[in-house]
Amino acid sequence: MSEFDLTGRTALVTGGSRGLGREMALAFAHAGADVVIASRKLEACQTVAREVEALGRRALPVAAHVGRWEDNDRLAEAAFAQFGRVDILVNNAGMSPLAPSLAETSEALFDKIVDVNFKGPFRLSVLVGERMAAGEGGAIINLSSTAAFKPEPHTIPYGGAKAAVCAMTVALAKAYAPKVRVNCIAPGPFLTDVSTAWRENKTYEQSLGLKRFGRPQEIVGTALYLASDASSYVTGQVIRVDGGSW
């Protein structure tokens, strides 16, 4: 299991205060990493930071809105100033609000969805990836969605942004090779606190290969694999963790 050991490394997780992000942040700490937890609400980040510190690791909570260019710049600087390095970057923060209809999708809503789901991960990946490539290397993990592969009319901006994340993953893997590995996880339906709109949809649940929705902790195995030396020959890949969303 030594290949999964993250001792001496620093991980930066956006959207790290709840849901899948929190699970990944705590898993990295369990594996030995110090963790930068970023989300819009500082108090929520501080709560997870205390959980990380209770595991004997160092933590840095940072309030940042990844849809804003300048917040990503500030987040990257804070991480490097505190720890001197970022070995693992997880672009997990995202949002998927729905408009009343296609025609009623406002420009502001469209821009907000693209900003958080694509623009932010691009900017933060470049800021951190450049320094990884100039230093000792590292691993970048992007979070896409099965919406990138199964586009639906009501999620066009979101699915489009997540498809862009998949394309970006391959392009950045080429840009920062050979020292930086860039991969992507495409989650299916997980029972997080934002799943209220569909968690009681039994037809949807039974359409999945495993006949159930995912538990947040079930993202951890794939995240640890991609963050660690266990995946040392894996880059530019999109791995679906979706319970069989065919």
**Which are the catalytic amino acids?**
158
In angstroms, rounded to a whole number, what is the distance separating the alpha carbons of residues 176 and 42?
A: 31
Residue 246 within any structural domain of the chain? no
How many domains does the chain divide into?
1
Domain containing residue 165: 2-241
In angstroms, rounded to a whole number, what is the distance separating the alpha carbons of residues 92 and 76?
A: 15
In tens digits, the chain (246 residues) has pLDDT values of 789 999 999 999 999 999 999 999 999 999 999 999 999 999 999 999 999 999 999 999 999 999 999 999 999 999 999 999 999 999 999 998 889 999 999 999 999 999 999 999 999 999 999 999 999 999 999 999 999 999 899 999 999 999 999 999 999 999 999 999 999 999 999 999 877 777 889 999 999 999 999 999 999 999 999 999 999 999 999 999 999 998
Query: Which CATH number covers residue 25?
Result: 3.40.50.720
In angstroms, rounded to a whole number, what is the distance separating the alpha carbons of residues 163 and 170?
A: 11
